[in-house]
């Protein structure tokens, strides 16, 4: 799954690595993403577009030109594709998405007969809460999907996203569709992350200052220093995808984002502004502090899931929000 610019990490850099690791089928959300992916990878892999609809002649031409396969998700889309096939147009293959509970995209099981008219290469569905292993929705969706796929013996079947892969063999079928886990997110919340961290974000300290008790920090004056503090200003703001309300609501609350400096947790203070934020560096030995030193925002010590939980988000949001102003460096470490 490489939608949303490979979850914010860079489609053009990520997709070739996945190809080298053996991936031959890619999913994107929009046709425009499929076009960019085809340019990057050339021919030889399948590219499926999840939200291809509503289909019209222009959209179909785009699919044909770039060899993109639509994931048909409604009866009108199925009807359009079936009609184009009957007219003898040279069409790429297609997939059909069935809804098994999410009520977002997909045909109902009762529409299987209509879907047979397009001879899909793949039938798929999508979990509601696969990250909660014991949720009864998982077993219910697995059962519904098993019935649906039985009506398409020629087609491959796909149900599992990242977390779904960890629900056991009944969820796996022919093809799985991992996204979040590929990018280091924890597909098994509450358990140790089986995936390796892949993203690191470091920002330099712009400057250091001392704040006296009673002074406020940031727009709105929402944070008042309870004691003398040494603070550092970072070039990291909500325009970079960092949460405006990243700081803890009260000075010693257990929530709230922090940066890591010299191995110490340095909490964010006050409102994050567009381009800047402030952290408390009082816990770091003064002699070690100097402008230009790097603070870890995401990385081995602060996972995307930690950062998300501390800022009222999910890891998916943290990744897909990562700003366009960061200098991005890609390292390929090889597979083990």
180 binds ligand PLP (CB under 6 A): yes
Q: Which of 3, 183, 238, 316 is catalytic?
A: 3
Q: Which of 83, 183, 219, 238 is catalytic?
A: 219
112 binds ligand PLP (CB under 6 A): no
Residue among 50 and 298 whose Cβ is closer to ligand PLP = 50
Using CB under 6 A, pick the residue from 121, 149, 177, 310 that binds ligand PLP.
177
120 binds ligand PLP (CB under 6 A): no
1 binds ligand PLP (CB under 6 A): yes
Number of residues engaging ligand PLP in binding (CB under 6 A): 12
219 catalytically annotated: yes
**Cβ contact 94:81 at 8 Å:** yes
Using CB under 6 A, pick the residue from 73, 112, 161, 197 that binds ligand PLP.
161
User: Cβ-closest residue to ligand PLP?
Assistant: 179
271 binds ligand PLP (CB under 6 A): no
Smallest distance, ligand PLP to C-beta of residue 314, A: 10
178 binds ligand PLP (CB under 6 A): yes
Using CB under 6 A, pick the residue from 126, 173, 271, 310 that binds ligand PLP.
126
Residue among 1 and 84 whose Cβ is closer to ligand PLP = 1
3 catalytically annotated: yes
50 binds ligand PLP (CB under 6 A): yes
| Binding window for ligand PLP (CB under 6 A); candidates: 62-70, 74-82, 171-179, 274-282 | 171-179
User: Which residues are tagged catalytic?
Assistant: 3, 219
Which residues contribute to the site for ligand PLP (CB under 6 A)? 1, 3, 50, 126, 161-163, 177-181
């Amino acid at each position: 799954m490489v939608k949303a610019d490979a979850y914010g990490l860079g489609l053009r850099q990520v997709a070739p690595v996945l190809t080298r690791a053996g991936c031959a089928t890619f999913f994107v959300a929009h046709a425009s993403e499929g076009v960019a992916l085809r340019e990057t990878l050339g021919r030889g892999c399948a590219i499926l577009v999840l939200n291809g609809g509503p289909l019209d002649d222009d959209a179909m031409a785009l699919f044909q030109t770039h060899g993109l396969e639509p994931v048909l998700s409604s009866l009108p889309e199925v009807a359009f594709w079936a009609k184009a096939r009957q007219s003898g147009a040279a069409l790429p293959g297609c997939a059909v998405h069935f809804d098994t509970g999410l009520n977002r995209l997909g045909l109902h099981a009762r529409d299987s007969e209509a879907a047979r008219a397009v001879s899909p290469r793949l039938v798929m569905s999508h979990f509601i809460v696969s990250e909660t292993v014991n949720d009864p929705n998982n077993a219910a969706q697995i059962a519904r999907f098993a019935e649906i796929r039985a009506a398409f013996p020629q087609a491959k079947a796909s149900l599992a996203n990242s977390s779904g892969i960890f629900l056991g063999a009944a969820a796996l079928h022919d093809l799985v569709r991992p996204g979040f886990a590929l990018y280091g997110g924890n597909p098994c919340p509450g358990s140790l992350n089986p995936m390796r961290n892949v993203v690191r974000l470091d920002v330099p300290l712009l400057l250091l200052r001392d704040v006296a008790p009673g002074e406020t920090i940031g727009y709105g004056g929402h944070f008042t220093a309870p004691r003398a503090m040494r603070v550092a200003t970072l070039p990291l703001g909500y325009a970079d995808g960092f949460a405006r309300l990243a700081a803890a609501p009260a000075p010693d609350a257990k929530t709230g984002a922090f940066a890591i400096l010299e191995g110490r947790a340095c909490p964010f203070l006050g409102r994050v502004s567009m381009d800047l934020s402030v952290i408390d560096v009082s816990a770091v030995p003064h002699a070690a502090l100097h402008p230009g030193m790097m603070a870890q925002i995401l990385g081995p010590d602060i996972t995307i899931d930690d950062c998300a939980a501390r800022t009222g988000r999910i890891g998916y949001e943290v990744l897909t929000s990562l700003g366009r102003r960061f200098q991005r460096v890609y390292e390929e470490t090889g597979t083990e």
